A = this chain, B = another copy of it.
Amino acid sequence: MEKTYALIMAGGIGSRFWPRSRKALPKQYLPLLGKETMIQAVCHRLQDFLPKEFIFIVSTRSQLPLIKAQLPWFKASHLIIEPFGKNTAPCIGLAAVHLQHIDPDAIMVALPSDHLIADTEKFTEILNAAVELVTQDPHALVTIGIEPTYPATGYGYIQRGERIDGVHGKAFTVRAFAEKPTVEVAGQFFSTGEFLWNSGIFVWRAGTILQYIDELIPDLSTGLREIRQALGSRRLAAVTEKVYKQIHSDSIDYGIMEHASNVIVLEANFGWSDVGSWEEVYKISPKDEDGNILIQDPIVKNVRNCYIEGSGRVMAVVGVEDLIVVDTPDALLICRRDQSQEVKWVVEKLKHSGLQKLL
């Protein structure tokens, strides 16, 4: 029987969590939702699905020390190194080449390193259903779609088609993929009941996704072939870097999923969030009776519905509502909760102000 491997995509830098996230300490290595860091939680959540020896991580070499520190059991040989990020298509293609080299029949579950899934049991069930699907149909590309709970504008959507019977879970053909919508369009999506949030979790055989890449993304296909020939040799890093410089940045959704036949979406409602902003962290996290999340004991009075994270310095906050306050030793953010997407603007501003060392 085929073996299943989890592939955690951990290359992101998460600038939306500045000043806590930095180039040297991306979002997935922060404990944004409790004691575990995001990547620790992802691994933890996989424990009922597969043994941790079957977990691989794709990231840059510079993140290996963080990974080793946070996941002491993780073997460096299970780190698939990207020289730099080129979006999800190259990341998944590269991983598929590595996994296929280890196990020609490998089934891979590709998933982001920085998302929240509240209900691990349902999550495990859905992954098992997905694996069953690709076991029955070796050419299937399975993606997980989340039943939306509100008309989000911050997520991409998948429009489901016909129901596919005879599998565990609610499986559908896919009618269309849609980018992050406007408020108006999000409302329409939500009211039809046909649109699911695109979770970025995919299940397929390594061999199958590589066939699709051969067919649909020729330059990546060529590059991956070069990399495959270098596997196990000392040239691997150099070849991978050369290939990464040549190929285009491309998401697996646009590059493959939108064009492939045989795409199946499994509908899930396991309490998912991409944890894309401080506001999202605020919404998800447990609050005190004043609606506050207070980290590192700020002194507060007349404060409501705020996320306040200190850095050990004394911080006194009086008379405010609906704020995000994040202090670090060298930088401070104060932001109204409903404008937490502007943190990206702040990071851009720093980039253009000669303050790169704070990124």
Question: A residues near B, CB below 8 A?
Answer: 18-19, 299, 301-302, 313-320, 323, 325, 327, 330-336, 338-339, 342-343, 345-346, 349-350, 353, 355, 358
**When chains A and B are docked, how far (Å) is the Cα of A125 from the Cα of B256?**
84
Taking the closest CB of chain B, its distance from the CB of A335, in whole angstroms, is 4
A260 to B201, CA, bound (A): 85
Query: Which chain B residue lies CB-closest to A297?
Result: B353
| Structural contact, B334 and A334, CB atoms closer than 8 A | yes
What are 13 inter-chain pairs, A to B, with CB distance below 8 A?
Answer: A19-B314, A19-B316, A301-B339, A301-B342, A314-B330, A314-B331, A316-B333, A316-B343, A316-B349, A317-B333, A318-B345, A319-B335, A319-B342
In the complex, the chain B residue whose C-beta lies closest to that of A315 is B332
Give the distance in Å from the alpha carbon of A314 to the alpha carbon of B350 in the complex: 9
B317 lies within 8 A of A334 (CB): yes
A315 CB contact (under 8 Å) in B319, B334, B345, B353? B334
Least Cβ–Cβ distance between A220 and chain B, in angstroms: 38
Query: What residues on B are CB-neighbors of A317 within 8 Å?
Result: 333-335
- The complex places the Cα of A320 from the Cα of B302 at a distance, in Å, of 17
Task: Write out the residue numbers on chain B whose beta carbons fall within 8 Å of the beta carbon of A355.
Answer: 314
Give bound CA distance, A247 to B325, whole Å.
47
* Bound CA span A221–B239, Å: 93
Once A301-B345, A342-B302, A349-B299 are accepted as A-B contacts, the answer to whether A334 and B314 lie under 8 Å apart by CB is no
A299-B334 CB under 8 A given contacts A318-B339, A323-B320, A358-B314 = no
Residue of B nearest to A323 (CB): B320
Within the complex, which residue of B18, B318, B323, B342 is in contact with A346, where a contact is CB–CB below 8 Å? Answer: B318
Q: Are B339 and A319 in contact (CB under 8 A)?
A: yes
Complex Cα spacing A333 to B332, Å:
12
Give Cα A332–Cα B353 distance, bound, in whole angstroms. Answer: 24
Of A319, A336, A342, the most chain B CB neighbours within 10 A belong to A319
Interface contact A299-B346, CB-CB below 8 Å: yes
B335 pairs with A332, CB closer than 8 A: no
How many Å lie between the Cα of A353 and that of B19 in the bound state?
Answer: 28
CB distance from A101 to the nearest CB of B (A): 45
Taking a contact as CB atoms under 8 Å apart, the answer to whether B301 and A316 are in contact is: no
Return the chain B residue nearest A347 by Cβ: B316
Do A331 and B316 form a contact, CB below 8 Å, given A299-B350, A302-B339?
A: yes
Instruction: Decide: B331 and A319 in contact? CB cutoff 8 A.
Output: no
Contact, CB under 8 Å: A335 / B349: no
Contact B332 A327 (CB under 8 A): yes
Give Cα distance in the complex from A349 to B315, angstroms.
12
Distance from A345 Cβ to chain B, minimum over Cβ atoms (Å): 6
Out of B330, B346, B349, name the residue touching A313 (CB < 8 Å): B330
Asked if A332 meets B346 with Cβ closer than 8 Å, knowing A302-B339, A320-B323, A323-B320, the reply is: no
Chain A to chain B: the 5 pairs with minimum beta-carbon distance, closest first: A319-B336, A319-B339, A318-B335, A314-B331, A316-B346
